[in-house]
Amino acid sequence: MRSRVAAVVLLALLLAVPVMAQTKPFILGVKGGVNLANLALDPEPDPKPDMYMGLGFGGSLGFLISPGMTLDTDFLYLQKGAKWEGSGEGEMAIPDQTYKYTYLVVNPMLRFVVQNQGLRPYFMAGAEVGFLLDAEIESDEDEEEGDEEGDYDLKDFTKSTDFGVNFGAGLEFPSGNSAFFVEARYSLGLTDIVDEGDDEEGNKQEDEEDESTAKHRGIYLMAGMRF
C-alpha cells in the first residue's frame, strides 16, 4: 500500500511536467546532506533523547511561478530517529540505543529567491510527507560478541505515513546555466508515529489510557546543484 501511494504521487508529478513546461520553465536538482534528528516525546522522558545524525539524499523538481518565486518538490531518501545513552552496570545495565526510521520523503516547498546578480539568498516553506521504508532499534547490547539480537524491528509499531511542515533558508551560487547551493531547514513533524497495531479482528487498537506521543523533529543540512 505504501509503495502504491508513493508511485501514484510520483507519477502524478511526472505527468504534470510536460504540461507545465509548455508555459513555465522547470529546474532539476540533486542534493544530499545530513538530518540532525530527534524525537519530541510527550510526556517528556528522563533521560531525554539525544540527536541522531541521519543521511539524506535525492533530487528535486522546481517550477518558476514568478520572478523570485519557485515551487520546488524534493524526493529524498531520509533517515530520522533519536539516541539514548546507556546507564547502569552489570545485570541492571541499559545499553546505548538508537531508534532509526527511514523514509521516502516528498517535500513540496515554496522558495522565495532574492534577485541578485551574484550570490542569491532564498527562503522556503512547505509541507512534508514521509512514506516509511524501515524502522528499528539498534542496541549496543552484545555487540562485542557479534550477537545481532540487540536489534529490534519497529516497523509494525510505526505508522506508515508521516506528515509535517518545513521552513528554512539557503544560499545559491550561480555558475552559467546551473547553480550550487547550501541550505538548512527545520522539520516539524505533526504525526504521532507510534502505531498500536491491530487487534485479532484486524482493526486498529486504541489505548485510551495511553496519551503519550512521539513526533519527528529534524534540522536538514543540504548541499547540491540546480540545472
Return the closest-CA partner of residue 86 out of 76, 96, 78, 77.
96
The pLDDT value given to residue 219: 98
**Contact criterion met (CB below 8 Å) for 50 and 84:** yes
Q: Which residues contact 14 (CB under 8 A, 6 or more apart)?
A: none
The pLDDT value given to residue 19: 45
Instruction: Tell me the domain boundaries of the chain.
Output: 2-86+94-198+211-226
Chain length of the chain: 227
Task: Report the C-alpha gap between 64 and 208 in whole angstroms.
Answer: 47
Asked if CATH classification 2.40.160.20 holds for the domain at 2-86+94-198+211-226, the reply, yes or no, is yes
Single-letter amino acid, residue 135: A
For 200, the grid coordinates are 485479532
* pLDDT tens profile 57-96: 999 999 999 889 999 999 999 999 999 987 655 555 567 8
Stretches where the chain sits below pLDDT 70 are: 1-24, 87-94, 141-150, 197-210
CA distance readout (Å), 105 to 93, 127, 137, 161, 201: 36, 10, 21, 10, 31
Task: Report the C-alpha gap between 154 and 194 in whole angstroms.
Answer: 9
Single-letter amino acid, residue 162: D
The pLDDT value given to residue 160: 97
